[in-house]
Amino acid sequence: MSTAPLSERLQAAERLAETRRIRQSLAMAKAAEWLQRMFPEHVRRPFAPHQAEVLDWGQEIDLDTTPRPFVGIWARGGGKSTIVELTVAKLGLQDKRKYCLYISATQAQADAHVLAIAGLFESESVDRHYPGHAERWVGKHGNIRGWRRNRIRTKGGFTVDALGLDTAARGAKIDADRPDLIILDDVDSETDTPRTTQRKVDLITRSILPAGTANCAVIGIQNLVHAGGVFAQLADGRADFLATRIVSGPIPAVYNLRTVRRLDEDTQRYRDFVVGGEPSWPGGQSLEDCQRVIDRIGLSAFLTECQHEVHERVGALWNRRMIVCGRVAEPPRNDDGTLNLRRIGIGIDPSGGKSEVGIVAAGIRGDKAYVLRDATVPGALGPRAWATAAVGLYHELKADFIAVERNYGGAMCEHTIRTVDPRVRIIEVTASRGKLVRAEPIASLYGTDDLGYVDSCVHHVGTFAELESELCSWVPGDPSPNRLDALVWVLTELMTGARRVDPDSLRIVTGGPRPLYRELRGFCPENWRDFMRGY
């Protein structure tokens, strides 16, 4: 019998009764309300309708039910991983699931998610309302076996293991247990080749999913990364696994997004501005939030990461993956910060009645070309404006030449440029054959899919939203857009111009001991042949 004073015992009994009332109230609460009451520091904004879908899905789960798999394809920055981590915590705390396997593309990613879940279990509210799960599991000999980087295991009997696809082993399990909850979170990578994606599908379908219990609940969550990824296949029906899945999405950050590129009066640079659309999560990812993201990562990356625009046109010479794999943050530089490039050029394609004049700058070092700037301007501004922009970029980058197409407007371009600065060196590029023949050799320099584009000879320095969209959407036979043509002119001159070789001589050669490689007949840029020998 307790020797504590009667008043203290009465207070303890009141606290226990209050805890029971709160816990009973929590058990009856809807998922959103439960999370807001349990983790108010993590749930500060109202849920979006698509986020409520997974919460309602989790609300219907009991220990003995077999739910349909839930696949959410939501925008990056839309709280997708946080919602799933909260759902895992809820299912574990309410004893609706016992063992969760949290899968990501890499072990480091999976570990980070499990650490986030551990932080939820260490909160004061869990200690107050679910004390059994607030304590770490202790073995029969007193050894503490819970809370490490890749695992949490509570005294109440809930376990979460982190597993990266890069380290996954067949039939992963803890002791005699098999997971009754499997999370697939960010399993696709933008650099995955078709072969890599197929290996991931094989691992998921032949090792990870079979490791689950008969009533295992499965959640998949990610933004679309590329058209051939695991989640793209789940979204469009190509995937034959998780056949009874509920698919939420793809949900973009902004429905009916409208942007315009115009001059920013503060910076005197062209920027992409959001001018319309409806955010899918107004409380957490508003149009203003999206504008800040676009300013930070660029429109092209935003369209891919947040709008799921990853499907290139069939027959396009370029695709987003080849551009992403070759992207670099900075060009080669000298110790004093100046560009360490052998030649720098500016390509111009006049509007010819189109809406814009393409102006693209690039440089070359060894056998690598670097796309430095897209300074395209509206054609409506007139010849003087685009010539001034091109000449200004020429001097800013200390370029060696400006390349224009001789066949279509070359004389006009040269005259217009020389009215701005007669000292500029102008090179006329001859297009003796069709646009396909001109563009295909340049596209081939971006690398080959079979090799994961590690053989890329063209690197975009940063993100060029409109240029990259034009590259990935142009199919031979269409009218070629101005940015694409300007890029082709400058790269043609940089890669083949030192010996005035016809760009048609750049060809793809198949066969031999290597699966695919390039050969330049008549001339190879500096170090090209050494590169090919090593390849």
329-383 pLDDT per residue, tens = 899 999 999 999 999 999 998 865 557 899 999 999 999 999 999 999 988 888 8
**Of 293 and 257, which is predicted with more confidence?**
293
Contact 68, 245 (CB under 8 A): yes
Tell me what the mean pLDDT of segment 509-514 comes to: 30
Q: Which of 107-116, 447-456, 521-530 has the highest mean pLDDT?
A: 107-116
Say how far apart CA 152 and CA 226 lie, in whole Å. Answer: 33
Residues 135-178: tens digit of each pLDDT: 887 555 455 556 788 999 999 999 999 999 998 744 444 455 79
**Strands annotated E in 416-535:** 426-429, 458-460, 506-510, 516-520
Identity of the residue numbered 439: A
Q: Virtual CA dihedral for 411, 417, 421, 423, nearest 10 degrees? A: -40
| Closest-CA residue to 146 (of 201, 82, 99, 196) | 99
Spatial neighbors of 301 by CB under 8 A, at least 6 apart, are 463, 465
Nearest to 252 by CA among 289, 278, 227, 220: 278
pLDDT score of 431: 61
CA 481 to mean position of chain CA atoms:
25
Residue indicated by tokens 């509570």: 154
Q: What is the pLDDT of residue 508?
A: 35
The residues with which 182 forms a beta bridge, in sequence order, are 101, 218
Residue 205 per-residue DSSP state: I
Is residue 124 within 8 Å of residue 64, measured between CB atoms?
no
CA torsion through residues 13, 19, 21, 23, sign: negative
Whether residue 250 is preceded by a cis peptide bond, meaning omega within 30 degrees of 0, is: yes
**pLDDT beyond 60 at 462:** yes
How many other CB atoms sit within 10 Å of the CB of residue 207? 16
Burial class (CB in 10 A: 0-12, 13-18, 19+), 300: buried
67-121 confidence digits (pLDDT tens): 999 999 999 999 999 999 999 999 999 999 999 999 999 999 999 999 999 999 9
Q: Which two tokens stand for residue 206?
A: 């032949």
